[in-house]
Amino acid sequence: MSSRHDLSVGPNPSPSPSDGVQHVCTICQAKESSHKHVFDTAKALSSHCRVKHAVRNDMRRYVGTSKCCSVCETTFGSRLSLIQHLSDSRRPKCRDVLLATASPISDELCTQLDELDKVARRTAQQKGYSHARVSVPAQRVALCEA
């Protein structure tokens, strides 16, 4: 009855690179460079990484010593809060922009910062806050002061 020839619904075997940013799984690519692991969205890539590679939260790889989100210019109280902000699935904009523009920090720095965060989290727990219970909404504390 109705012509819907302008809608191409169905699997697209070759995602067009002209659509913009390509989201490539670098983990798969490293293992199997002959096969392309490209996803349409950062969301698709991150859920692939969660399922296939048990990657919990790779946004920490994009957060260095700064507590300021370079995308929305919001400063957070701690690195963990910034990571939480960037991992918020309801507001993927900052994450998407960051993933497209930023480069990950070094393994060494990431390990160092994770250690600091571990200490900070433990201190917070001793004060009676549990990481699971505390879900502080991201507050606009101040704009970035570089």
CB of 96 to Zn ion, least distance (A): 11
Residues in a beta bridge with 68: 75
Least CB distance to Zn ion at residue 18 (A): 23
The neighbouring-strand residues paired with 23 are 39
Site string for Zn ion, 10-49 (x = CB under 5 A): ---------------x-xx---------------------
Please, what is the minimum distance in Å from the beta carbon of residue 94 to Zn ion?
3
Q: Where are the beta strands (DSSP E) in the chain?
A: 23-24, 38-39
Indicate the Cα dihedral angle 70, 52, 41, 19, nearest 10°.
Answer: 120
- Kindly state the number of chain residues that form the binding site for Zn ion, as judged by CB under 5 A: 8
Q: Which of 21, 42, 55, 72 binds Zn ion (CB under 5 A)?
A: 72
- Residue 6 has which token pair? 């302008």
Q: Which of the residues 92 through 121 are near Zn ion (CB under 5 A)? A: 94
Contact segment (CB under 5 A) with Zn ion among 10-18, 61-69, 107-115, 127-135 equals 61-69
Nearer to Zn ion, 3 or 135 (CB): 135
Q: Can you list the pairs that 67-73 forms with residues at least 24 positions away whose Cβ atoms lie under 8 Å?
A: 68/144, 69/94, 69/98, 70/98, 70/102, 70/144, 71/97, 71/98, 73/143, 73/144
In the list 45, 69, 80, 83, the residue contacting Zn ion (rule: CB under 5 A) is 69
Point out which residues bind Zn ion (CB under 5 A): 25, 27-28, 52, 69, 71-72, 94
